[in-house]
Amino acid sequence: MNTPRRSSPASSNVDRRSFLASAIGAAGVSTSAMLRLAAAEPKAEAPIKPTSGDDYLKELEENERKIRSKDAKPSIGVGDKLKITRVETIFVKPRWLFLKLHTNAGITGLGEPIVEGRAKTVATAIEELTPYLLGKDPRPVAHHWQAMYRHAFYRGGPILTSAISGVDQALWDIKGKALGVPVYELLGGPTRTRVRAYAHAGTVERIQQRKAEGFTAFKTGPFKERPARLVENKAFIDKAAQRFAELRAAVGDECDIAIDFHGALSQQTARLLIKALEPHQPMFIEEPVNCQEVDVMAEIARGTHLPIATGERVFTKWGFREILEKKAATILQPDLCHAGGITECRIIAGMAEAFYAAIAPHNPLGPISLAAGLHLAASIPNFLCQEQSSLGVGYIKNPFQVREGYIDIPTAPGLGIELDENALANKIDHDWRNRETYDVDDGSVVDW
């Protein structure tokens, strides 16, 4: 029995070359060409040595270093005469976040960066902005706004713009203090000597109390014994309209009362309630539907003679552009703690003026936010009314005062306020959270 012969690797290569030579020769190809083909055959490659995670990170870091080395160095906002030395955030009851920008000149700027219920998240965003801010001259405010906003590849949204808003307020505060003038003087103001403000009131007793305190404008919400359904019944609409009529009767026709739907009503129910409220002439209907429903809001605006207002959950000039272009509202309510601060809200006010729309800054927050709003109001021509929830009693020295429905514009440098550190001592820290609301009938999630 013959055992089959196994060819060696060398003999296999010779046999294959002989076969190639025969085949190529038959095709009319020269032996030298055949040899070149054989030499070009792929050779077995040595196994690739796997790189460690450390090697990968080192390569990334080196590439990053090379890219950054080509970046132009900052030339604006860099100097030794005035520079930011420390960034400090303070959680303040009931649900606020205060910001202090400290400088080497002893000037401290105040701001209020906050998303209600997300104070810790915004504080972290401020922490992430800190490396940029430290060592910078605070005075070129618009330049810093652009850098903070545009150096983030993912731009906008409530967290980033709220963080920038607070920093922006503090930068303007520093600049005004450094120059010895109120912020509105740096914005071309004053355009008025006092600012109309409104108070919150949901009952007859409360609205009469606020009127006695000097307010002539108020804001309430729809009377609800439970969260509204998608399509409400006649009893719900009638009760809400009747409660508003009672508030109107309590303060008279000379006072203004706005009503905030809070974006919590469906468009079906919002249309019904607006029609029922028309005889009582609210100053405006705020957020009749969610602000993301711009086309629906525009349809609602065309269907009523009552002014529509929106803006507390709209951010930057880019967000308000659609509202104006689609004529979804004639009263814009940018929040100076959310929409981009004084710098951005001044631009939004200019855009609104071109559409003959008014500005009524949103502010359910603290006295720093109120101060920023007063300076904006004192520097634009199309201001309507300023929301407030605190005049600063127990938070700032020399709290604001309301007389005949108005607050005098600040006259001290910067934002014109100073924190009362002693009064603040028992108001430090909080863990305020947003409400969790559910339908009482079926347990589904509802807007509050």
> In CATH, what number is assigned to the domain containing residue 196?
3.20.20.120
pLDDT band (50, 70, 90) for residue 75: low
Beta strands in 157-214 (DSSP E): 194-200
Overall number of domains in the chain: 1
pLDDT at residue 206, as a whole number: 98
Kindly report, residue by residue over 384-428, the tens digit of the pLDDT.
999 999 999 999 999 999 999 999 999 999 999 999 999 999 999
Confidence of residue 46 (pLDDT cuts 50, 70, 90): low
pTM for the full predicted model: 0.85
Distance, CA of 63 to CA of 77 (rounded, Å): 28
Tell me, yes or no, whether 67 lies in a domain: no
Domain-located, residue 429: no
3-state secondary structure of 84: strand
Q: Is 101 domain-assigned?
A: no
Contact assessment for residue 384 and residue 333, using Cβ atoms and an 8 Å cutoff: no
Provide CB contacts within 8 A for 323, sequence distance 6+: 294, 297, 310, 311, 314, 329, 332
Asked whether residue 170 is assigned to any structural domain, the reply reads no
Q: Please, are residues 392 and 400 in contact by the beta-carbon 8 Å criterion? A: yes
- Give DSSP secondary structure letters for 201-241: --SHHHHHHHHHTT--EEEE----SSPPPSS--HHHHHHHH
Cα–Cα distance measured from residue 368 to residue 42, given in angstroms and rounded to the nearest whole number = 73
For residue 322, being part of any structural domain is answered with yes
More confident residue, 416 or 441: 416
Q: How many CA atoms lie within 13 A of 397 on its CB side?
A: 9
Is residue 7's pLDDT more than 70? no
Q: List the single range of 59-73, 160-174, 311-325 with lowest mean pLDDT.
A: 59-73
Q: Do 317 and 349 form a contact (C-beta atoms < 8 A)?
A: no
Contact 196, 386 (CB under 8 A): yes
Q: Which residues are catalytic?
A: 262, 362
In a domain, 324, yes or no: yes
Cα(435)–Cα(227) distance, integer angstroms:
13
Q: How far apart are CA 332 and CA 325, in angstroms?
A: 13
Question: CB of 413 within 8 A of CB of 173?
Answer: no
Whether residue 10 has pLDDT greater than 50: no
Packing angle between helix 158-179 and helix 367-377, nearest 10 degrees?
70
Classify residue 74: in a domain, yes or no.
Answer: no
Question: Looking at the domain assignment, is residue 362 inside a domain?
Answer: yes
Are 311 and 336 contacting, i.e. CB atoms less than 8 angstroms apart? no
The helix (run of H) or strand (run of E) holding residue 258 is strand 256-260
Range of the structural domain that residue 286 is part of: 183-414
* DSSP codes of every residue in 99-113: EEEEETTS-EEEE--
Q: Which residue has the higher pLDDT, 342 or 38?
A: 342
